[in-house]
Amino acid sequence: MAGQQPGAGPRPRHPPDHGTLTRSSAGRALCRSPRTSRWARTSSFSNPELVNLYGCTIGDECKIATFVEIQRGVVLGRRVKVEAFAFIPTGVTLEDGVFIGPHVCFTNDRYPAAVDASGELLGTSGSGDWEVGQTVVEAGASIGANATIVPGVRIGARAMVGAGSVVTKDVPPGALVVGNPARVLRERP
């Protein structure tokens, strides 16, 4: 294989340096490592060396593209597909069969700031100066390319978020939403 040392063998089919895999009672594969990410052996990563997983749980048969970051505490259900350059921070849950388009950005801080009124840096470990907003994307929903999802919203089952939309409020199940801010256009096709 090009770019490898002779005798190095094939590249791993799971993200590198994530420890050993064991099977959980729920049927998900568990990974023991400093990052403590868990993923199912049946999930695939288009280029494992270019995916950042930090303490997340990934269900069976998921497909994760290149340059995706999934942070601590995120849960992906079964058969979730995440396209390139998506950012999924702490506080996000993606239920079964969800599609996340390229460059989708979830946020988890409704009022982000770098420093407080006295100029002290916010967000230092254990500082407790901000709350993680929880976001849920229900089963079968689809989020188009370059959409931004603010924290604290629920995107209903089988809903569709149009490309480039900014979701600031809950999306009803089965709805198609578009725009900035995202508004219901009609039922999902």
**CATH code for position 47:** 2.160.10.10
Nearest CA to 51 among 81, 16, 10?
A: 16
Nearest CA to 57 among 32, 74, 34?
A: 74
pLDDT of 38: 61
In a domain, 116, yes or no: no
In a domain, 97, yes or no: yes
Q: What six digits make up the tokens of 157?
A: 């089952």
Q: Supply the residues annotated as catalytic.
A: 103
Number of domains in the chain: 1
- The whole-model pTM stands at 0.76
In a domain, 92, yes or no: yes
Structure-token match 């700031």, residue found: 113
Q: Which domain holds residue 183?
A: 26-111+130-189
In a domain, 68, yes or no: yes
Residue 92 Rama label (left phi>0; alpha psi -120 to 50; beta) = beta
- The three-state secondary structure class of 49 is helix
In a domain, 101, yes or no: yes
Q: Collect all residues with Cβ–Cβ distance below 8 Å to 188 and sequence separation of at least 6.
A: 158, 159, 160, 174, 175, 176
Give pLDDT tens digits for 101-153.
999 999 998 888 888 788 888 766 555 667 789 999 999 999 999 999 999 99
Is residue 13 within 8 Å of residue 64, measured between CB atoms?
no
In a domain, 20, yes or no: no
In a domain, 171, yes or no: yes
In a domain, 34, yes or no: yes
